[in-house]
A = this chain, B = another copy of it.
């Protein structure tokens, strides 16, 4: 049988992994053994090990009609690095498990890996292992990210205390609006493939949806300023859902002030076009990959110069519940309506 070295079939599973990972030498001393054995071997010495894993499914988390493969690879890594940063830890390695249809070309898989590689470069992470498999259903990408942290600096969801300030990085709701834009153009394209997509003027929203960046800079800033949040979570399911996680795990309540929630002008503009309240996109939209954290007023002084961090509320006793305070002073209980795949939309 003639083997075609430039096809996936010709390379075979092991050849494919070697082909895809050969130009990714390991960078960290902690990566004793990267790809190519039964498991990766890591030397974390006295540091704590922080591990997270998630799975992205075609049709649920990404749509191959409008997601370029390189962006998909990049975003799949980012989603996991964001979880490591949310522990106030530093990612060091990722392990990639990939299942895809035999209809995919080698070029498409290479493009996916070029996105994975770029994310590894940008965030100084080693690809430490991987598994590829064929799929007769859809494509699935599962990434495990491993990082290191210091015992006294790991930040859990459970440490929020009464009177702590509640802060977010960046702005919220943009990735959700970016998705709405892509969905609209997909519908138009499916109805009439001749029509060119209308994506101009929304570069920021598209970037937030297609190529999000995790907030490594915020973790660096905490380290430089020696500031320590009391609790932290990354915003992947919407502000409302994440604030509830922190309050539930910490046994506290919260007040979030609508007027302080950071929303980009581009988000507001497109929200108006779609007849969506921008605040709803910020509260319930997914995939922002910003950080939500609580910090004592004393520690807040150390970080308040950072223009990308906004204080949006404070922690209260649990019996006051978790509320959004609108511009006119109305209390609205927070609800977890975010990116929760099992709930019916209502």
The residues of A with any CB-CB pair to B shorter than 8 Å are 1, 8-9, 11-14, 16, 32-33, 36-46, 48-61, 83-84, 86-87, 89, 93, 95, 97-99, 102, 128-129, 131, 133-138, 140, 142, 144-147, 149, 151, 154, 156-158, 232-234, 245, 249, 336, 340-344, 346
Partner of A50, one of B42, B48, B145: B42
Copy count, this protein chain: 2
The CA-CA distance from A140 to B61 in the complex, in Å, is 14
Could you list some 5 contacts between A and B, CB below 8 A? A40-B50, A40-B52, A51-B95, A59-B135, A61-B133
Q: Determine how close the nearest CB of chain B comes to the CB of A20; give it in whole angstroms.
A: 13
User: Closest 7 interchain pairs by CB?
Assistant: A137-B138, A142-B142, A39-B52, A137-B137, A55-B97, A38-B86, A134-B341
Q: Give the chain B neighbours of A138 by CB distance below 8 A.
A: 135-138
Are B136 and A60 in contact (CB-based, < 8 A)?
yes
Main secondary structure of the interface of A (DSSP, over half): mixed
The CA-CA distance from A54 to B98 in the complex, in Å, is 8
Q: Give the chain B neighbours of A343 by CB distance below 8 A.
A: 9, 12
Question: Given A14-B336, A33-B154, 20 other A-B contacts at CB below 8 A?
Answer: A1-B346, A16-B342, A36-B157, A36-B249, A37-B87, A38-B52, A38-B83, A39-B83, A41-B87, A43-B49, A43-B151, A51-B146, A53-B129, A53-B144, A55-B140, A56-B133, A57-B134, A57-B137, A61-B133, A137-B140
Q: Determine how close the nearest CB of chain B comes to the CB of A139; give it in whole angstroms.
A: 8
Q: Are A51 and B39 also in contact (CB < 8 A) when A12-B343, A57-B140, A136-B138 are?
A: yes
CB nearest to A134 among chain B residues: B341
Q: Give the chain B neighbours of A13 by CB distance below 8 A.
A: 340-342
Q: Give the chain B neighbours of A48 by CB distance below 8 A.
A: 32, 41-43
The CA-CA distance from A346 to B12 in the complex, in Å, is 14
